[in-house]
Every structure is written in C-alpha cells, then in structure tokens.
Structure 1
Amino acid sequence: MSWQPLLLTFQLALATTAVLLVLALPLAYWLAHTRSRWKAAVEALVSMPLVLPPTVIGFYFLLAFSPNGSFGGWIDAWLGLRLVFSFGGLVAASVIYSLPFMVHPVQAGLAGLPPSLAEASALLGKSAWTTLLRIQLPNIRPALLTGTVLSFAHTIGEFGVVLMIGGNLPGKTRVASIAIYDEVEALNYPAANAYSLVLFVVCFAILLAVYWVNGTGASPITTAFRKRPSL
C-alpha cells in the first residue's frame, strides 16, 4: 500500500475545508437573514449536491473546465490554469460538492441566534462585520465545528466527482477512494482493506471528537442551538 493517495486525500480535504470557511460563511449569513425572493432558489442550488449523483456534478465540471470549452479555454488562456485532471480542479469541484455541508449548519446556527444580539451590538456602534466576527460566530461555535468537520469528512469520501474531473493520475489526482477502487478491480483486497481501514478510523475519530467536544450523546447539529448566546 502506498501512502501517497492518503496524503493527497487529506491535502484535498484540508484545502477544500479552508476555501469553504471563506466562501460559505458570507453565503450562510445571507441565507440566514435575507428576505429576498431568490432565497429559495439559492438554497435549492446550494443543496443540489445532496441529491444529484456525484458523477452528474463531475460531468458538468469536466465540461466547464475543459480547455476546449469557453470557460475552461478562457481560464487556460488568460490565467494559465488548467483545472481538468489537476489538483486545483479537484479542489474547485470539491468546494461545490461539499458546500451544503458547511452552509447548512452555519445557516441554522445564525438563524437560531436571538435578534437582540445584533441589535445590542448595533446600539454599541459596532458594524455588521464586527458583529458577525466578534459576537455571532463565537456564539455558534458548535455549528461552525459541525460544518468544518462534515465538510472535511465528506471530501475524504468523494469518489464520483474526483474521478470525473481528476481522473486517476498517481501523485496528482489519485486519492484514496480511487485507489480503493483500483485495488478492488485488481483483486488486491489486502491493499483495498488497508486504505479503507485508515479512512474508517480517521472519519470515526473525527466524528467522535465532535460529539465529545459538543457534549457526550448530543448531536453536533442540535448542540448548535443548545448553548445560550452571550454578548
């Protein structure tokens, strides 16, 4: 068994989670507070990866990022980026595929905060950005932790999306889920079992830590609403 697919898998999960922390927080904040008529449409788009087969998402990413397409050709010509069959392409596709696992817990946490927190902060002369960073986000730590862990763990288990957009290039796009499939095809069950066991242990340990931090026996998501906010 080679450790390279496992290292690449964890690098992909870390990169995806880091990008999601930057992109998903403003989106979750907007969804939690907006009254726009487009809210339902945006929520539906964010939730699409929960119901669509991963190969469908991967296929459309393959078309979009292909150098022969208009968007893929543009970023290749002007930015020098070729996302098809590259680690950068895996990150971009994984961000979209894991987006609901970050947005939904954070959105629920923000929506569950009493309006009096933001109102009191505004009375003290704090900006909306300061209120979010200094008051609201610290009060939804369980929701943030849940979104971060679910996004990381979900990325570890990706198969269809990474296969479609990244292929199976050793040292470049061959993550652990692809390696398991290859070993099973080759009837090399001991190697497939070794990869699977490492992923099983890591994911179990991550989820166990979340339950432990948020309270033994409590759901990570329900705990996001259980703690009393403080200003």
Structure 2
Amino acid sequence: MNSDFIQTLVTTGKLAFCTTLILFVIGLPVAYFLAYSRFKLKAVIEALISMPMVLPPTVLGFYILVAYSPQNWFGKMLEQWFDIRLAFSFNGVLIASIICSMPFMIQPLQNGLASLPVSLKEASYTLGKSSLVTFFRVLLPNIRGSVIIAIAMTFAHCVGEFGIVLMVGGNMPGATRVASIALYDEVQALNYKAANQYALILFLASFVVLTIIYSINKK
C-alpha cells in the first residue's frame, strides 16, 4: 500500500468520524425537540432535515459551493471577517457532509425517542428529576439501539459519499480526496488493482455497518 492510498483512507475516516461526532452532539437536542414538540412548523423542519435523502448530492453540493463563494454574502463575510475560504477545503467538505448526513443521524434518534411511553418521562419528573437528568439518565439509555443505528448509518453514509464531496471539495490529495472519489479516478485510469482495493474497503465498511444494524433490529 502506497502513501497516497493510506492518506486517502485516513482522510475518509477523519471525515466520517468528525461528521458523526458533530452530528451526534447536534442531533440529540434536535431529535428531542422534534420528538416531543408540538411546534406548528415542525413538518417544515422535518422536511428540510430529510431533503438530503431525496435530493441529488450534486444539487445540494452546488448550492453549498455557491454559498462558500466570495461573491456570495456568506462566503464574502467569512473571507473578510475571518480570512476563511471553505470551498475546496477539508473544513468546507466537513460542513457539507454534516448537512448531507443530518437525516441519517436525527431520524433514528427521533423515532427512538418518539417510541418511548410518555409515562417514562413523567415518572422521572414526578421523582424530581430535571429535564437534563431525565434525558441522559432515563430516555437515552432506553434508546441505545436507535443511538447505535444512527451512529452506524451516519458513519457509513459519510464513508461512501461521493457527489457532495466532489462538488464542494474537488479531488485534492491529502485534503479532500476520499476513497469513493479515488475509486472513480482509478477506474478512469484503468488501474483496476488500486480500484479493487478501494472498492473492497468500502464494501467491507458497508457490510459491517449493515450487520450491526440488522443485529440490533433483531434484538
């Protein structure tokens, strides 16, 4: 295995790990809000969160790339105020990956919380527990399966993401080049040996994740 192959796998793993970790922190309060809130526009928020599941990644990636552009107010603000350019950078791809993978984290958590009996939360409140203690000591332990599925699905989706990474990050070795893009490049170059290595890694990662999910669902 050459250094470029290892670096590509490291970048892929780093992107998937960071995306999953950040989304888990963000997803918990959002899932709680969506599971128990009676907010009138909740359906609109749920639709926006779920959009990446039905929207082509290239479309979402295009709009994110436009937002990153210095000609756009957001990109211009980042460049002028913070001297940051997100287009074709790892941080830019990370933000895009978080947006694109959001439904894979939030939906399982929301469904898990919504499936719990309301009496469980009410009993905790009756015993004098705060909302925060109730969430972490009562609700969260009872949706362990949903948590594992959310983490596994989010990680697997990030590992196999292609369109949005290519649109936002391009194909920069050591920075934004991930395994799925490297696989495409090797096939284009007729280097099937290297392509098979990338394909095997992605196949095994997907197989392990699906095995975990189905094992949890069976239990």
Task: Report the TM-score range of the alignment, normalised by the length of the smaller protein.
Answer: over 0.9
How many residue pairs match? The answer is: 216
Structure-2 residue corresponding to 1:116: 119
Q: CA deviation at 1:76?
A: 2.1
Structure-1 residue corresponding to 2:196: 193
Q: CA deviation at 1:81?
A: 2.4
- Aligned positions of 1:63-212 closer than 5 A: 63-212=66-215
Query: Residue 188 of structure 1 aligns to which amino acid in structure 2?
Result: N
Could you tell me the percent identity over the aligned residues?
Answer: 54
| Corresponding position: 1:13 with 2:16 | yes
* Equivalent-residue separation in structure 2 for 1:123 and 1:209 (angstroms): 36
Moved over 3 A (4+): 209-212
> 1:139-191 CA deviation, whole Å, 9 max, x = no partner?
00000000000000000110000000000111000111110111111111111
Structure-1 residue corresponding to 2:35: 32
> 1:183-219 CA deviation, whole Å, 9 max, x = no partner?
111111111111010111122123323434x26xx2x
* Equivalent-residue separation in structure 1 for 2:177 and 2:146 (angstroms): 32
- Structure with higher helix content: 2
Q: Which stretches in structure 2 are left out of the alignment for 5+ residues?
A: none
* SS of corresponding position for 1:137: helix
Q: CA deviation at 1:30?
A: 0.7
* Equivalent-residue separation in structure 2 for 1:38 and 1:81 (angstroms): 34
Structure-1 residue corresponding to 2:48: 45
* Equivalent-residue separation in structure 1 for 2:160 and 2:71 (angstroms): 29
* Equivalent-residue separation in structure 2 for 1:20 and 1:69 (angstroms): 26
Q: Does structure 1 conserve the Cα–Cα contact (< 8 Å) formed by 2:153 and 2:209?
A: no
Q: Point out the more displaced range, 163-172 or 199-208.
A: 199-208
Q: Does structure 1 conserve the Cα–Cα contact (< 8 Å) formed by 2:109 and 2:150?
A: yes
* Equivalent-residue separation in structure 1 for 2:123 and 2:83 (angstroms): 48
Q: Point out the more displaced range, 198-207 or 187-196.
A: 198-207
Q: Which stretches in structure 1 are left out of the alignment for 5+ residues?
A: 224-231
Q: Point out the more displaced range, 64-73 or 135-144.
A: 64-73
Structure-2 residue corresponding to 1:227: none
TM-score by length of 1: 0.90
Structure-2 residue corresponding to 1:226: none
* SS of corresponding position for 1:173: coil
TM-score by length of 2: 0.95
* Equivalent-residue separation in structure 2 for 1:116 and 1:79 (angstroms): 48
Task: Give the superposed CA RMSD.
Answer: 1.3
* Equivalent-residue separation in structure 1 for 2:105 and 2:82 (angstroms): 28
Q: CA deviation at 1:118?
A: 0.9
Q: CA deviation at 1:68?
A: 2.5
* Equivalent-residue separation in structure 1 for 2:88 and 2:58 (angstroms): 15
